[in-house]
Amino acid sequence: MVGARPNFMKMAPIVHAMARRPEQFEQLLVHTGQHYDANMSHIFFEELGLPRPDINLDVGSGSHAQQTAAVMQRFEPVLLEYRPDWLIVPGDVNSTLACALVAAKLGAKIAHVEAGLRSFDRTMPEEINRILTDQISDLLFTPSPDADQNLLREGIDPAKIHCVGNVMIDTLVRLLPMAEARLPALRAKLNLGDYLLVTLHRPSNVDDPATLTEIMQALQQLGRDLQVLFPVHPRTRGKLAQLGFADEQPGIHLVEPFGYLDFLALQAHAALVLTDSGGVQEETTYLGVPCLTARPNTERPVTITLGTNRLVESTCPALVQAARDLLAHSRQSPHTPARRPALWDGQTAQRIVDVLCEAHSCSKF
């Protein structure tokens, strides 16, 4: 199952790994349609080499209850018709929990990819989705040992937990050379020098007008030091429009969301990344690119203890100060090699498929 932008990067390597073993796996790819703009969905199928979904539930946007309920209502007949042995769900979006709940009630086994992450902040919708999906899953594939500890603390049977590494990094490892090849054209098109790359879409940052205004003020100040390139998530686009921030702000280049390859190339060569995305914290860690995360917490602590990530308060002074400190530091020591968490090595999907095979005694799914 896939539904929202980050799901595509997590499922693509698993879909490919299963396709290499046709005698063991028969697959049905379901897209819930939670994300539907061409640059939030279709482009990733092309760039990641994902097959066209067998079924698209076309649920679209709505409140949490509306969206979760719509996925459940439309997914149930699919499960009843195809009766799969296993459902694989990635991440922590509403589609993840909705599909898992349907499968649990109908007796299909559930494999949760990226299990065990916890921000310990239940005001985040994703935290609710993570806790509940983990509780009803039969196999829990974790990206790092901290996630195993979280699951054990919540009473999950250790036999269900498999620390396999970060599957999103499989996609990065495979496509980084292709992304790099696009950089010269991108630099020319965007007239790029030294730049700060920004992505923001958490409700805690963008749904509160005062917080979003603070962030935009910080970006305007930082725009005097270096170029600010801000591909705007559709949730954020609407909020910026409501606040009267036009497309071009002094020093800030607001653009449409990029496809995966362009965005990866831009991450790899940014002077600094400012984000509230989960996946971007991980990708910058792998790439060794300095990253500021505008949040009070993260469910990905290895990106801080091992990687290049730092948390920062979403206020104008804190953002400006933290960005200037990091930029000064990275100019002093520009070639610090990236420290990568164990098993973030491009082979995670292979490990997941091995475990699935073993769990199902290698019989045809």
The footprint of ligand UD1 (CB under 6 A) covers 4-6, 34-37, 40, 61, 67, 92-94, 125-126, 201, 233-235, 238
CA 8, CA 171: separation in Å to the nearest integer? Answer: 10
Query: Is 201 annotated in the active site?
Result: yes
CA 258, CA 248: separation in Å to the nearest integer? Answer: 17
- Which 210-249 positions form the footprint of ligand UDP (CB under 6 A)? 231
Residue 36: contacted member of ligand UD1, ligand UDP, none (CB under 5 to 8 Å, by partner type): ligand UD1
Q: Determine if 3 is a binding residue for ligand UDP (CB under 6 A).
A: no
Residue 66: contacted member of ligand UD1, ligand UDP, none (CB under 5 to 8 Å, by partner type): none
Q: Which stretch binds ligand UDP (CB under 6 A): 111-119, 255-263, 294-302, 303-311?
A: 255-263
Question: Which of 236, 343, 238 is closest to 282 using CA atoms?
Answer: 343
The C-alpha angle with vertex 165 and arms to 150 and 340, in degrees rounded to 5, equals 105
Q: Which stretch binds ligand UDP (CB under 6 A): 175-183, 219-227, 279-287, 337-345?
A: 279-287
Question: Dihedrals φ, ψ of 25, to 5°?
Answer: -130, 135
Q: Tell me, residue by residue from 189 to 208, as one string, x for binding to ligand UDP by CB under 6 A and - for no binding.
A: ----------x---------
| 260, 271, 291, 341: residue in contact with ligand UDP (rule CB under 6 A) | 260
Q: Determine if 279 is a binding residue for ligand UDP (CB under 6 A).
A: yes
Question: Dihedrals φ, ψ of 278, to 5°?
Answer: -70, -50
For ligand UD1, which is the closer residue by CB, 125 or 251? 125
Question: Which of 1, 3, 9, 89 is closest to 49 using CA atoms?
Answer: 9
Q: HSE (CB half, 13 Å, CA atoms) of 305?
A: 10
Whether the CB-CB separation of 308 and 288 falls below 8 Å is answered with yes
Q: Which stretch binds ligand UDP (CB under 6 A): 3-11, 71-79, 110-118, 130-138?
A: 3-11
Show the tokens assigned to 88: 């694989």
For ligand UDP, which is the closer residue by CB, 104 or 273? 273
For ligand UDP, which is the closer residue by CB, 150 or 199? 199
Please tell me whether residue 17 adopts helix, strand or coil conformation. helix
Contacts of 107 (CB under 8 A, 6+ apart): none
| Catalytic, out of 201, 233, 253, 269 | 201
Whether the CB-CB separation of 292 and 273 falls below 8 Å is answered with yes
Where do contacts with ligand UDP occur on this chain (CB under 6 A)? 5-6, 9, 199, 231, 257-260, 263-264, 277-280, 283
The residues annotated with a catalytic role in the active site are 201
